[in-house]
Structure 1
Amino acid sequence: MAKVVAQEQAVVAGEIAQVRRVRAGGVTKTKVEKFLAELARTCNVTASCQKVGLGTTAIYAHRRKSPAFASAWEEAIREGYGRLELMLLESAMASYEPAEEGDAGSGAGTGARPKVSEQSILRLLQLHRQQVAALRAADGARAEAGAEAAHQAEWGSARAELEARLLAMHERLADDEG
């Protein structure tokens, strides 16, 4: 038989609250609010459930039954994901510190020394992959446009030279006839 705790507002179908006895690990309005706050902070469902005393099975079932809760869950995940990205970037930025004079293997006074884990580096690369690709494509387009402009200038000068020669030939022919 399930352990029953004191009477508390139980969340039923996500919208209507009833006052009834709630099973240990059961979903209540208070626990849902705390869970969503913790989920937004950590982006970790299991840890959030443990922190507020909810069972993961119960919270996933509640998400399936309640569209409003599912929407709030998604928003909490978005917020938590953004926090994780910021934490990672802050951690990576904090790991770059000036090398001290005479550090073994650092080259005395060489400036910034990375102290970033490989996982962090890979994640940073993944985060910026699309942006860097767009920048490189823009650089390539500029280089291509520059090459095209140089090509057009080259053809323009060659054409001008040919036109000048043709004009000179035309003038000579006109002088010979006249």
Structure 2
Amino acid sequence: MMSGLPMVLSLDQVELTDEQFYRLCLANPNTPLERSASGALVIMSPVGGESGEREADLITDLALWNRQIKLGKVFSSSTLFKLPGGGDRSPDAAWIEKTRWNALSPEEKAGFPPICPDFVIELRSKTDALPPLRDKMEEYLASGLRLGWLINPQGQEVEVYRPGAIVKKVPFPARLSGEDVLPGFKLTWPLPD
């Protein structure tokens, strides 16, 4: 894990229930874990300062927009969502429409929420391989994602994901719109210093 790449463990011969996965995560709070739709356990590496700062900027912009419009809830990369498609994933930033969030029970909100965000952002760090991030975006789509942005600084582009649509690649500087999912939300990437 010194390289910064996530470690993926196949659980093909191991039955790991949702409850066992939840307890595994609670028992290892300093080790961010995800589980792919195929059941592979993904041990996530921490990001460096540059990626962490950029991620914080994205969450801040999303949260400030949300505070004004009050249409939903914003979540950080520490939130793990139990996706309807079978994976347990933590996007770098996420947003869920308020009525969908409010439909969850208090217990569901307190644990790993069994819901796919309406909107996610994944920010590729210097050590992230692109194919696993694209697979993750496809998992979100298969679980009900309405809009997703995969920001790829190394490729100088943002990939925009929408259900039933071809992935749109927007070159830097990318001017992005929340479209009908996040009305009025706009972002230009890279952010100015």
Establish whether TM, by shorter chain, passes 0.5: no
More helix by share: 1
Report which of the two structures shows the higher radius of gyration computed on alpha carbons.
1
TM-score normalised per structure 2: 0.24
Structure with greater contact order relative to length (CA < 8 Å, sep ≥ 6): 2
